[in-house]
């Protein structure tokens, strides 16, 4: 088995791992990035699309947002549609901040290029990653190779191996519903996001690019893609989202996937020399488009902590888990709150409460400001 040495091994090349690897390199800290998929695969894997402004500005400060700032559309409002009417919600006007619409696979492509073009060591299609000696001298093994390091950054997502090395409780919440996630080769039907609240179930529309639109349809948790032939998809999208003057444009569906709608949060995000970042430590269902933003937030804090460690200040790294989890729990709470409004309830009392919240949100500027602040993540570190 060949042995090499580096400062940090980063496992996983998603938004968390790639942001972290770039930031560490910029601070002169050596790292090796290990990814189980091919570079071509991760550069085409569609997932998120909405990045909050604070995250974009942080990437910009580190020279990682050039193409994003040149080409991403910004959005500062969305529409609720219910009872046949449309209600515009202008959150940029309330907060001064907006979302940048930038498909995750394009951000991943940019971050891989920034890292490898600057000489970063990225190894794709690795298998059998295992961690050892986390309490003393961490090592990572894979494919007959051994890497000795000071730290392991576990950025390998919700199905990765790194989280299995961290002890502690896992708080989990199931929504008891499914979401059918769809991508259509169709121009957006509206400038912004549409949240459709309907007795048949929730539906959403989100622009991705000039000719690609993401849609979501609430479905039964045990539904499969086969339960949703294209004709049924479009019938339900029209039923749940169309209002007078607001039609939905159809196109070829090229992604159709039932999401298991659940959240989890690990009690601790570290063990010895291992630090988790992103979905390896916490998952939030895509109700409020928060997951990628949290992954970037963790990466920012972890790079600060590791950089401070090498500068002789171990305190930041010691506080890493608590600092991340503060924002994680605010976003989890917000997603749950939004879920109650979106999905309603078969219980008429709970349904009445959800409608009361919606009317307050649309009728009170103070309620709208509080909502907008957390929706765009302007303040969430309580």
Task: Provide the binding-site residues for ligand FAD, judged by CB under 6 A.
Answer: 11-17, 34-37, 42, 47-50, 104, 126, 129, 155-157, 160-161, 181, 278-279, 286, 289-293, 295
Strand partners for 33: 10, 122
SS (H, E, C) 252-307: EEEEEEEEEEEEEEECCCEECCEEECHHHCEECCHHHCCHHHHHHHHHHHHHHHHH
Given the complex with ligand FAD, which of 85 and 326 has the nearer CB atom?
326
- Enumerate residues 6+ apart whose C-beta is below 8 A from 70: none
Q: Give the count of beta carbons closer than 10 Å to the beta carbon of residue 295.
A: 28
**Least distance (Å) between residue 318 CB and ligand FAD:** 22
**Least distance (Å) between residue 125 CB and ligand FAD:** 9
Do residues 73 and 206 make contact, with C-beta atoms less than 8 angstroms apart? no
**Least distance (Å) between residue 364 CB and ligand FAD:** 27
**Least distance (Å) between residue 340 CB and ligand FAD:** 20
Given the complex with ligand FAD, which of 83 and 260 has the nearer CB atom?
260
DSSP 220: -
**Least distance (Å) between residue 37 CB and ligand FAD:** 4
* Euclidean distance between the first and the last CA atom of the chain, given in angstroms as a whole number: 47
Measured CA distances, 53 to 29, 114, 191, 263 (Å): 27, 20, 18, 24
Given the complex with ligand FAD, which of 95 and 163 has the nearer CB atom?
163
Given the complex with ligand FAD, which of 141 and 351 has the nearer CB atom?
141
* Residue 304 in tokens: 């600060």
Given the complex with ligand FAD, which of 49 and 192 has the nearer CB atom?
49
* Residue 221 in tokens: 């948790």
Given the complex with ligand FAD, which of 288 and 317 has the nearer CB atom?
288
Question: Interior CA angle at 197 toward 48 and 80, to 5°?
Answer: 70
**Least distance (Å) between residue 211 CB and ligand FAD:** 18
Do residues 122 and 246 make contact, with C-beta atoms less than 8 angstroms apart? no
CA atoms within 13 A on the CB side of 156: 26
**Least distance (Å) between residue 361 CB and ligand FAD:** 21
Given the complex with ligand FAD, which of 251 and 312 has the nearer CB atom?
251
DSSP 226: G
Given the complex with ligand FAD, which of 47 and 378 has the nearer CB atom?
47
- Enumerate residues 6+ apart whose C-beta is below 8 A from 110: 64, 66, 67, 68
Do residues 350 and 176 make contact, with C-beta atoms less than 8 angstroms apart? no
């Amino acid at each position: 088995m060949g042995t090499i040495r580096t400062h940090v091994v980063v496992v996983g090349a998603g938004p968390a791992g790639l942001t972290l690897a770039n930031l560490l390199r910029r601070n002169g800290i050596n790292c090796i990035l290990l990814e189980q998929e091919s570079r071509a695969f991760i550069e085409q894997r569609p997932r998120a699309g909405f990045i909050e402004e604070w995250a974009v500005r942080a990437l910009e400060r580190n020279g990682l947002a050039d193409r994003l700032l040149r080409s991403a559309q910004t959005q500062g409002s969305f529409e609720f549609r219910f009872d046949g009417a449309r209600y515009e919600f202008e959150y940029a006007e309330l907060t001064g901040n907006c979302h940048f619409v930038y498909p995750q696979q394009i951000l991943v492509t940019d971050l891989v290029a920034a890292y490898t073009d600057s000489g970063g060591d990225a190894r794709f299609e690795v298998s059998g990653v295992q961690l050892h000696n986390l309490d003393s001298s961490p090592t990572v093994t894979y494919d007959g190779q051994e890497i000795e390091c000071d730290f392991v950054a576990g950025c390998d997502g919700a199905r990765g191996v790194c989280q299995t090395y961290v002890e502690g409780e896992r708080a989990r919440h199931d929504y008891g519903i499914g979401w059918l996630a769809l991508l259509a080769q169709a121009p957006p039907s509206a400038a912004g996001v549409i949240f459709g609240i309907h007795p048949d179930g929730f539906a959403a529309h989100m622009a991705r690019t000039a000719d690609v639109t993401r849609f979501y349809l609430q479905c039964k948790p045990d539904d499969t893609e086969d339960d949703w032939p294209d004709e049924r998809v479009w019938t339900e999208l029209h039923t749940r989202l169309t209002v007078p003057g607001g039609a939905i444009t159809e196109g070829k569906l090229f992604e159709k996937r039932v999401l298991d709608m659940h959240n989890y949060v690990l009690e601790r995000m570290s063990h010895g020399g291992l630090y988790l970042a992103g979905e390896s430590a916490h998952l939030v269902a895509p109700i409020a488009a928060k997951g990628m933003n949290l992954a970037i937030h963790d990466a920012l804090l972890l790079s600060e902590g590791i950089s401070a460690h090498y500068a002789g200040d171990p305190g930041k790294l010691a506080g890493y888990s608590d600092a991340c989890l503060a924002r994680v729990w605010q976003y989890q709470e917000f997603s749950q709150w939004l879920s109650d409004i979106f999905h309603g309830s078969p219980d008429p009392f709970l349904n009445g409460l959800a409608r009361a919240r919606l009317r307050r949100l649309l009728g009170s500027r103070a309620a709208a400001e509080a909502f907008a602040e957390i929706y765009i993540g302007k303040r969430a570190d309580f």
